[in-house]
Amino acid sequence: MAKKSDKKIIFNKEKKMPPFAISFYSMEYNKTGGWRNFRPVIDYDKCSCCLICWKSCPEAAIKLKKTKVKGKEKFKPVIDYEYCKGCGICWEECPTEAIDIEEEAE
């Protein structure tokens, strides 16, 4: 598979294939964090690292960070505000109510 970082767009004449345009660029330029009206904030004192928020985020905007809690290795969810659209699913789903939602400042 061609890497998305390759900058050419292929119109394959050599193999006599029909013109075939390939998207090599990612969508990372599209910082969807700017769409957010509400900002989810995790209170790590209440977070049990169950990762339900991570599983439920449509944007893959929750990252996992390895940490140690009471000597045990765990993954901690960390919200990437560059891409979080503020849908509130993580807030709704969190079983320990560790996620609060705040109105975004203008």
Partner 1 sequence: MKLKIPEEEIMGHGNLACQGCGATLAMRLALKALGSNTVIVLPACCWSVIDGPFPHSVVNVPLFHTAFAAGPSTASGVKAALEIQGKDTNVVAWAGDGGTYDIGLGTLSGAAERNDDMIYVCYDNEAYMNTGIQRSSSTPLKAWTTTTPVENPKESHKKDIISIMAAHRIPYLATASVAYPEDMIEKFKKAKDIRGMRFILVFSPCPTGWKYAPQLTVKLARLAVQSRVFPLIEIENGIKWKLNKEITHPSPVSEYLKPQGRFKHLSDEDIAEVEQSVEADWNRLLEKTKK
Q: Which residues bind ligand SF4 (CB under 6 A)?
A: 40, 57, 59, 61-62, 79, 84-90
State the binding partner of 25 from ligand SF4, partner 1, none, CB within 5 to 8 A by kind: partner 1
State the binding partner of 98 from ligand SF4, partner 1, none, CB within 5 to 8 A by kind: none
8: left (phi over 0), alpha (psi -120 to 50) or beta: beta
Given the DSSP bridges, would you call strands 62-69 and 38-42 parallel, antiparallel or unpaired? Answer: unpaired
Q: Which helix (H) or strand (E) holds 91?
A: helix 89-93
Is 104 among the residues that bind partner 1 (CB under 8 A)?
no
Nearer CB in complex with ligand SF4: 58/71: 58
Is 89 among the residues that bind partner 1 (CB under 8 A)?
yes
Nearer CB in complex with partner 1: 27/41: 27
Taking Cα atoms as reference points, which of 96, 99, 51 lies closest to residue 77? 51
Residue type at position 91: W
